[in-house]
Amino acid sequence: MRSGFSGLALASVLLLSSSLAACGKSEPAAPAAPAGLALSTAEGAHGVLPAQGIEIKTKGSVANLAMTPNWRVGGQQLNITWYAGASQTKRFFVVTETGAAADQPSFLAHPETGVRNVRVAFDGGAPVTFKPTTPRAPFDVPAGAKAVTRVEIDYGSSEAPQTVVWK
Break the chain into its structural domains and give their ranges.
39-166
Cβ neighbors of 52 (< 8 A, separation 6 or more) are 66, 67, 68, 164, 165, 166
User: Is residue 37's pLDDT more than 70?
Assistant: yes
If one compares 95 and 11, the residue with the highest pLDDT of the two is 95
- The predicted model scores a pTM of 0.76
Residues written for the chain: 167
pLDDT tens digits, residue range 15-36? 445 444 444 545 444 444 445 8
Rounded to an integer, what distance in angstroms lies between the CA atom of residue 80 and that of residue 102? 31
Nearest to 36 by CA among 143, 164, 151: 151
pLDDT tens digits, residue range 135-152? 999 999 999 999 999 999
Mean pLDDT of 90-114: 84
Tell me the pLDDT of the chain averaged across its residues.
83
